Structure 1
Amino acid sequence: MVNPVRVVAVACAGLLLASCGVLGESAAGDAETDRQSTTLADAIGYPRQPDAAGLARAALATPLGGSPGFSVLLAEDLAHEGPEDPMARLVWRIHRDAYDSGWQKTPAFDACYEVDFDYYGAVAEPSRVACPEDATPVTPPPLPKRGIPSDFAPALETALGALPGTPGEAEARDAVAAALPAPRVDPVTGLASIPPRVLVHVRGGDVGVALSANTGGDGDCVMGRRVGGEVRVWSLDWRDLGPLEKPCTAEAALATS
């Protein structure tokens, strides 16, 4: 009769050897690189990133990502339909130098991890994978600059002066947007700058305009107003803006004395 205890023990030993063989032969790493990778995946999952390049930028901006031994090897966008479907995959490498304390020696190794992300963060904990031999570190393109160029102010002044006596808000907004310079293209990256939001408020014949450099309205701002036929344009920077300071809104532009 077969001893059931021995069968269980042999089976468990076999599973242990198999799992050790998988990790030992194809995927280096240890408890510390596992912890680092899990922490990194959690950190870059929020704020939400729009694509794999955004996740790679976020990873490289962390303390781990900025260390000499870290590199992103793959940043791949995945076909998806809903927000809970995996939309991007990253593979990164953590290099560990050899360590010799005199009584303990640890050889150098490269630990690589793969993790998929949906729009809410990492789908699962990073998994160890074999490091590709010929991988080239990924350098994601920088984000387009959000500042408002200096030539927007005179363009806004001209647009305000050319508006009809009592324009509608949609008419004024379209006229201002059409008068602004085209987005500039970075000659190195080929990326166009992000155009500012055009906010307009009309009160009779008076018009207030705010050009906001980002969607939150708390970046650089150019304001303009036409009151009683007189046109004035001015700029605000981050020192002037914020919850306790001046808002970058068309209403604020029109109310400014």
Structure 2
Amino acid sequence: MKPWGIVALIAAVLATLAYIALRPEGDGATDDDADRSAECLARYPVPDSAASFARRELEPYSQCGGWDVIEYTDIGNRLTDTDQPSSRLVIRIHHDEHTALWSHQDAITACYRVEFDYYGLDSGPSRVKCPPGAPALLPPGIKHGGVPDNYKDAFKAALSALPSAPNRDEVLGAVRAKLPQLPIDEHGQPWREPTLDAFVDNGGIGITADGTKGQCLEGTRLADGTVTVEVQTPSDIPEVTKTCTAEGALLSKRPLK
């Protein structure tokens, strides 16, 4: 190969490496999720503001994905400039690490910018760099999900005070009596109440608070009186999807026979 050819090859390789290094995170699966979300957001009736698009993304019944919204901005007048973008959303899509029998997929987080006009989708979704530490935003009308931190103390107090052989209703009643008031978000509305579950079996008690999106608080009391309260962590076993159930919480803490 002639010297100029070697130089051209090296330049091409460096350009390719630079493109790979600078290209925003994402893969075919996140691209497909972003496409589905954008199509869902743009369906009729088209929302009239960026906040309305964000609400549609986050409302469970909309089935638009429920991905994190890290930006929602009105960038134009949808009524006077109908063919120009008037609302912009940036959504963050996350896929957990997944291992199957013959394949492995690393965890990935990708962000996408989507712009809308009066008629619907104007441009995107386009991959963008995810701003480090960007919070998930909640527009007015969407309640904050999750499990408040002070639920841990309430779980411990309820489990410690329960009699030796309560039934499920007694467990749920004792837990609810100890729960603090829900926090108030930046829009002045209370958080969404986590879903409680209880399970009683052979002297053992399991309770959970499901805050959705993988946020689960587990509490257990074994027959010997040992009380444990902790946030659920992903399973170490591939192919297993751990759900937020009181029965699962109790069984996971019982010693293997």
TM-score (norm 1): 0.48
Larger Rg: 1
TM-score (norm 2): 0.48
